[in-house]
C-alpha cells in the first residue's frame, strides 16, 4: 500500500500554504503536481548540458544521451518493443493532429472512421477533419447515459468491412469510465480496422502494456503523470514506417526522427525520465535496491501502477460513499461498488440550481482545487444535456491525495448541498 505522507514529501507543490491553509489538489486530471526530482532533472539539463541535437561537442553529446534515455524510459512505461517507436511532441492533441493528417493520405471515399461520444475532443475532431479531407465517413459510438459507459453493442454493430480506424480512449477524462479497449481492439482487428488509443487520462492510474493491448497507436501526456508538459505517441514500427510522415527534407527517415517535428523540448524530456523513475521507485523502494537492479524498470513500473490503482480505488470508494450523504448531488458515471474496477478515481458531479463554476469558485475560496466545465469532452456534455449547467464539476483523485482531504472536501460541499 502507498504511504501517501511519504510520497507527498517529494512534491514541493503539495507543501505550500495559501492564506494559512494547505491547498488540496483535486485538479490532477488537468495536470498533476511533479516531484522534486523532475524539477531537478530539468534544471540540471538547462544548467549543465543545454544544446541542440547532433553536435560533436560535449554538451550536445550529453544532451543526446539524455534524449535517448527519455525514449527508453517511455518504452518501459508503455512496454513498447523498442525505444525507437516512441515519438515525442508538444502534447497529445498536436501529435494526434499530425498523425491523423498522415493517415488521411491513405483514406479513400467510402472508408469509415469510428469515434465515440465519451472521448476528449482531441480524439474526435482530428479524425473528423481527416475524414472530411479524404471524403471518408465518420461513425460515432453512443453511450449509456445512466452510467456513462460506452455502448459496446452499438460499436460492434457499426464495425464493418469499410472501417479503417477506431479511435477510443482508455478512460474518460470527464467521468472516469474505463473502456474495454482490449475487446474493442480485438473486434476492430477482426473487422480489418486499426486502433488508436488515447491513454492520456488513464496513464496515471494503472499499468499500460501496448503489447498486451495489441493496439496500433497509443498517445499520452507526461504532465498527467507527474512529469512536464510533453506529449507521447507510440506506434507499431511497421505503421510508423509505412505511413507518409509530414516532415522537413533534411530530417532523416530513421526512427523516431521522421515523426518528430523540429527541435524537441529537451529539458522536458529530461523531466520525463525523472517522472518515470519516480514511479519505478514507488514500485520497488530504495530498501529493495538489489531486487530493483535485478528485475529492471519495466517490472517496477507495473508493480507501481498496480499499487497506485489499489490505493486510489480506496479513495474513490470513500468519496463516492461520502457523496451519498447529499441526495441533491448527482454523481455522473459508474457508482456501484462492484463496478469500481471499471473506472478511474475521477468523480464528476452536479448540484441542481448551482452552476458548476459557482461550485468550483466556492471550493477554490477554501483552497480546494477542482475543475469545472466541459473538460473538452464536448460530445459527452451534449449527450448528457449539461450545457446549461456549464458541464461538470470534476474531482480528480491521485495517489498523493488522502482520505483527510476527502473529508475536508465533503465539509466544504455541505454548505452548498
Do 411 and 354 touch, CB atoms closer than 8 A? no
DSSP state of 179: P
| Domains detected in the chain | 4-34+306-414 (3.90.1150.10), 41-275 (3.40.640.10)
In 79-146, where does DSSP find H-type helix? 92-104, 125-134
Residue 231: per-residue pLDDT:
98
Q: Is 393 helix (H, G, I), strand (E, B) or coil?
A: strand
Residue 256: per-residue pLDDT:
79
Strands 194-198 and 330-332 come out as unpaired
> How far is Cα 63 from Cα 46, in angstroms, rounded to an integer?
10
Query: For 25-59, what is each residue's pLDDT tens digit?
Result: 999 999 999 999 999 999 999 999 999 999 999 99
Mean pLDDT of the chain: 95
Helices vs. strands in the chain: H and E counts, helices first: 15, 15
- Whether 395 has a pLDDT exceeding 90, the answer reads yes
For residue 403, give the nearest of 307, 308, 314 by alpha carbon: 314
Strands 346-350 and 392-396 come out as antiparallel
Residue 316: per-residue pLDDT:
98
Query: For 280-315, what is each residue's pLDDT tens digit?
Result: 999 876 545 455 455 689 999 999 999 999 999 999
What percent of the chain is modeled with pLDDT above 90?
90
- Average pLDDT score over residue span 198-225: 98
Cis peptide before 143 (omega within 30 of 0): no
Ranges of beta strands (E only) in 38-185 are 86-89, 112-116, 137-141, 143-144, 149-150, 163-169
Percent helix, percent strand, percent coil in the chain, to nearest 5: 50, 15, 35
Do 74 and 275 touch, CB atoms closer than 8 A? no
Residue 226: per-residue pLDDT:
98
Q: Which residues contact 338 (CB under 8 A, 6 or more apart)?
A: none
Residue 285: per-residue pLDDT:
61
> How far is Cα 351 from Cα 55, in angstroms, rounded to an integer?
58
**CB atoms inside a 10 Å sphere around CB 236:** 19
> How far is Cα 348 from Cα 144, in angstroms, rounded to an integer?
16
Residue 286: per-residue pLDDT:
55
Query: For 95-142, what is each residue's pLDDT tens digit?
Result: 999 999 999 999 999 999 999 999 999 999 999 999 999 999 999 999
Query: For 6-15, what is each residue's pLDDT tens digit?
Result: 999 999 999 9
Determine the length of the chain.
417
HSE-CB of 134 using CA atoms within 13 angstroms: 24
Q: What is the pTM of this model?
A: 0.96
Residue 295: per-residue pLDDT:
66
DSSP state of 38: H
> How far is Cα 349 from Cα 306, in angstroms, rounded to an integer?
27
Residue 393: per-residue pLDDT:
98
- Whether 225 has a pLDDT exceeding 90, the answer reads yes
Angstrom CA distances, 362 to 13, 179, 369, 417, stand at: 21, 33, 10, 12
Amino acid at each position: 500500500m502507498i504511504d501517501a505522507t511519504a510520497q507527498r514529501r517529494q512534491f514541493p507543490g503539495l507543501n505550500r500554504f495559501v492564506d494559512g491553509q494547505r491547498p488540496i489538489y483535486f485538479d490532477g486530471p488537468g495536470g498533476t503536481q511533479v516531484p522534486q526530482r523532475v524539477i531537478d532533472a530539468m534544471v540540471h539539463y538547462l544548467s549543465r548540458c543545454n544544446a541542440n541535437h547532433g553536435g560533436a561537442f560535449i554538451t550536445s553529446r550529453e544532451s543526446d544521451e539524455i534524449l535517448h534515455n527519455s525514449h527508453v524510459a517511455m518504452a518501459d512505461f508503455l512496454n513498447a518493443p523498442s525505444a525507437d517507436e516512441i515519438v515525442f511532441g508538444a502534447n497529445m492533441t498536436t501529435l494526434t493532429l499530425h498523425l491523423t493528417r498522415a493517415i488521411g493520405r491513405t483514406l479513400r471515399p467510402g472508408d469509415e472512421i469510428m469515434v465515440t461520444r465519451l472521448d476528449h475532443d482531441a480524439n474526435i475532431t482530428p479524425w473528423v477533419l481527416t475524414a472530411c479531407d479524404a471524403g471518408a465517413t465518420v461513425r460515432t459510438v453512443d453511450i449509456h447515459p445512466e452510467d456513462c459507459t460506452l455502448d459496446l453493442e452499438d460499436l460492434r454493430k457499426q464495425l464493418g468491412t469499410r472501417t479503417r480506424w477506431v479511435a477510443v480512449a482508455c478512460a474518460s477524462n470527464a467521468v472516469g469510465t474505463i473502456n474495454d479497449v482490449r475487446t474493442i481492439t480485438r473486434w476492430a482487428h477482426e473487422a480489418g480496422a486499426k486502433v488508436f488509443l488515447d491513454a492520456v487520462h488513464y496513464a496515471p492510474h494503472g499499468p499500460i502494456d501496448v503489447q498486451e493491448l495489441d493496439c496500433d497507436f497509443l498517445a499520452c501526456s507526461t504532465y498527467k503523470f507527474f512529469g512536464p508538459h510533453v506529449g507521447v505517441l507510440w506506434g507499431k514500427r511497421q505503421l510508423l514506417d509505412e505511413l507518409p510522415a509530414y516532415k522537413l527534407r533534411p530530417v532523416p527517415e530513421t526512427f523516431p526522427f521522421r515523426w518528430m517535428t523540429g527541435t524537441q523540448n529537451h529539458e522536458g524530456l529530461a523531466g520525463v525520465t525523472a517522472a518515470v523513475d519516480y514511479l519505478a521507485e514507488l514500485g520497488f523502494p530504495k530498501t529493495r535496491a538489489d531486487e530493483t537492479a535485478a528485475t529492471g524498470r519495466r517490472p517496477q513500473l507495473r508493480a507501481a501502477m498496480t499499487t497506485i490503482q489499489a490505493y486510489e480505488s480506496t479513495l474513490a470508494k470513500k468519496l463516492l460513499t461520502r457523496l451519498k450523504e447529499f441526495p441533491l448531488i448527482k454523481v455522473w458515471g459508474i457508482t456501484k461498488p462492484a463496478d469500481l474496477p471499471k473506472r478511474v478515481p475521477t468523480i464528476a458531479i452536479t448540484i441542481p440550481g448551482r452552476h458548476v463554476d459557482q461550485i468550483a469558485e466556492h471550493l477554490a475560496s477554501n483552497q480546494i482545487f477542482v475543475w469545472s466545465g466541459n473538460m473538452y469532452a464536448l460530445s459527452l456534455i451534449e449527450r448528457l444535456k449539461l450545457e446549461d449547467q456549464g458541464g461538470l464539476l470534476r474531482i480528480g483523485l491521485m495517489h498523493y491525495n488522502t482520505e483527510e482531504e476527502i473529508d475536508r472536501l465533503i465539509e466544504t460541499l455541505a454548505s452548498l448541498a
